[in-house]
Chain A
């Protein structure tokens, strides 16, 4: 009898245990793992990346982040391969290339429903130009970047030249560059722009290569303001006060700016960015920061950018991916990167706590951020970079190589209107503007 009641009790306990196990199993689900591809850089070094993951996982125990840290030069190939294969892309990554945009997840609704984060938390222009595409929110702007002119105070002092001020013009730039140039020391006064229709083009009469409706090149690319800008470039090249493209290629960090020559004191002025600014500060260079020159009375433009942090459209965990994206590219993640690395956050409320916020160069940088971004036009006119710039590259090359005379600039631009119009007409149906 006793034996039978024990058996009943055993069966009862077993059933109860099974019930508890099943309830417990449902409650303690396996954590979701999301993949994140990112870059190690001076602004966002590996320890900062690890710290972001650690802080996020502590806040979200049900989400694990599998991070891949890549080198800058490897990132594009990796993304192109994964997106090209249609599988294996990460849940979250930088989607900075325009062809990657169609692969991003639309997070408009998620951001609007987010009680902790809003587009108003970011610098407005950076958000509009770098986080939206075709009226959709396709990411969050991570960090801020902008071009400005860095000037080496020691070189200026040695040459007895006054430091440039924010009200300087493009023609002041040439005169100062000439005064700073010293062939005996292999020193140039200033560098050259790295492409047409960036800040200085816009600052000389708001020049655009074609009409806002993407219909007409005639009168824009070869219009008086554009001719003035190209002529300014001709004068700069002719002054001998700037290194040639070959000099930059051999001696400097080609592409994003000749920061190496600037740090070595062989460039009195250089159009660089906030990443270069940190590099120069760490190298102990005595420098100042001033906006790119513009014509008084005209609107001031700045060539600026952000890194677009996005969710892959093919993700299987969009909710968890958004949780992480809003953490990493939100105030907490960008603050961690600012404190451990040297990131300049895209959120004004975080950026104001920047460790060197009182320094002259940081104040100069903040002054630049207020300019209207060249990306405002460029982002809505993808045919410029997609097609037209190649059609008109002869003008740039001929001037850079000193192959044409000053009075030939107008004729050179006129001759390129037809191929530019053809390139634009061909591109608009594909890219829309």
Chain B
């Protein structure tokens, strides 16, 4: 029995006591919320500082960029830097190329990953566990090691200087996504499959009508991660592409880093524009993304 509840405060009726304790709780909650908001605001400010520096630098003259004391807001903003950045190199074209690669890779991932994961999650076949482990082990191989054999292979296939080396692999599944999707599918009750089968659905029908709609959080992870990885990928495009007009934006940005100096103001302006699509995608997908990752973590 809690004795403090039985202790009456002097001169207060029980109703007044309840109101007072409620007011205290509200005040405590308010203080706690205020503290959390202040901390979050400070953290947001710290995390946004590099973006702010990027915006500020993109509007400066070269001699202002590293000047001391720094001018966070340039007195004479050089809006023309953006125009110069986009006319000096075909950045709009590069962004379009990146968008094509992103869409193609997402389509490839959405087609291949659920099918392969479905096989691992729902079917029994010889050497299933060995194959799954083999597939997982490919994640441990550093990408750089595969570059020369891949270059040799695509050279033999006559695919160098085409976008196929950057698209085709997505249609054969990504081990990381297959692992995620397999784990997610394993958490979906098999009874749903059985019920669908009783209703006349075949294996493909179960995958398309039952499992894929239920895997939306995991598929969001596939879409968003593919978007970010392909958009930012630098190494493979430089190895497999040759045509100046076919580069993605990640390679286009590298043109601002010259042999002897970096055009920081143009570079920052171009980078700022180039990260906008990622920010927009993340803004709209963050709820599904966080939910998807959390559910995979908990259920998997």
Binding site for B on A (CB under 8 A): 39-43, 46, 66-74, 77-78, 81-82, 84-88, 185-187, 251-253, 256-257, 259-261, 263-266, 273, 275-276, 279, 282-285
Contacts and interface: CB of A to CB of B under 8 A. Distances in A.
Interface string B241-255: 011100000010011
Interface residues of B, number: 33
B244 A283 contact: no
Going nearest first, the 3 A-B pairs with the smallest beta carbon separation are: A275-B260, A71-B254, A264-B66
A263 B147 contact: no
Contact of A276 (B234, B251, B260): B260
Contact of B239 (A46, A81, A265, A275): A81
Interface stretch (B11-19, B56-64, B77-85, B95-103): B56-64
A370 B264 CA distance: 33
Contacts of A84: 148
Nearest to A185: B68
A86 to B, nearest CB: 8
A287 to B, nearest CB: 12
Given A71-B257, A186-B68, A275-B259, A264 B251 contact: no
A78 B239 contact: yes
Nearest to A68: B242
B67 interface: yes
Contacts of B65: 260, 264
Given A87-B152, A251-B66, 4 more contacts: A77-B239, A78-B238, A260-B264, A283-B61
Given A82-B151, A85-B152, A187-B68, A263 B62 contact: yes
Contact of A266 (B66, B259, B260, B264): B66
Given A69-B244, A81-B148, A85-B152, A283 B63 contact: yes
Nearest to A279: B261
Given A71-B251, A74-B238, A81-B148, A259 B261 contact: yes
A279 B66 contact: no
B234 A72 contact: no
A82 B239 CA distance: 8
Nearest to B61: A283
A186 B259 CA distance: 27
Given A84-B148, A87-B152, A275 B258 contact: yes
B160 A77 contact: no
Contacts of A85: 148-149, 151-152, 155
A70 B67 contact: no
A410 to B, nearest CB: 36
A253 B263 CA distance: 10
A185 B259 CA distance: 29
A71 B259 CA distance: 9
Between B67, B149, B235, B243, the greatest number of chain A beta carbons within 10 A of the residue's beta carbon is seen for B67
Contacts of B264: 260
B262 interface: yes
Nearest to B68: A186
Nearest to A263: B63
Interface string B144-163: 00011101100100001000
A70 B238 contact: yes
Contact of B258 (A41, A66, A69, A251): A41
Contacts of A261: 66
Contact of A74 (B62, B152, B251): B251
Interface string B222-245: 000000000000110011001110
Given A82-B151, A88-B160, A283-B62, A73 B257 contact: yes
A318 to B, nearest CB: 20
A46 B232 CA distance: 24
A256 B260 contact: yes
Contacts of B68: 185-187, 264, 266
A194 to B, nearest CB: 13
A71 B63 contact: no
Interface string B39-78: 0000000000000000000000111111110000000000
